Amino acid sequence: MSSHAGIETLDFHFQGFRPAGAFAPVLVGVVGSGNLEVMLEPAAGNQCSVHVETSARGFGSTWQAVLEDFHQRHPLAGVRLSINDMGATPAVVGLRLDQAVAELPLQGNQP
């Protein structure tokens, strides 16, 4: 965790079990008051890494809980998520993450 100019930076890593394969980067949402954007990109390896830059400082444990919940629902491997947040609620974060995953080709193959 680090911070600069009022922005807190958080990084999380999860072991993935569902390879995302090749896909074009996905961008959902818009950075603005009370909202966020999520960029989902392919990455090497079996992890799902998440980089968060947020204006809402001091909520690392909340981010951890939201991202763990997301990863339980979508245990993706070989992906990198970048989140730029301007104070979104956990519900909005979950919505944007689900929207990004819905853009992946593998989504239609989910049981």
Asked if 63 and 86 count as a contact pair (C-beta separation under 8 A), the reply is no
Report pTM: 0.87
Asked if 77 and 18 count as a contact pair (C-beta separation under 8 A), the reply is yes
Among 11-15, 28-32, 64-68, whose mean pLDDT is lowest?
28-32
Q: Domains for the chain: give ranges and CATH numbers.
A: 2-106 (3.30.230)
Tokens standing for 50? Answer: 């998440």
Cα–Cα dist 108/82, whole Å: 23
What pLDDT, in 10s, does the model give residues 45-94?
999 999 999 998 999 999 999 999 999 999 999 999 999 999 999 999 99
Neighbour tally for 72: CB within 10 Å: 9
In the DSSP assignment, the letter for residue 58 is: T
Q: In 8-75, which ranges are continuous DSSP H helix?
A: 60-73
Amino acid at site 50: V
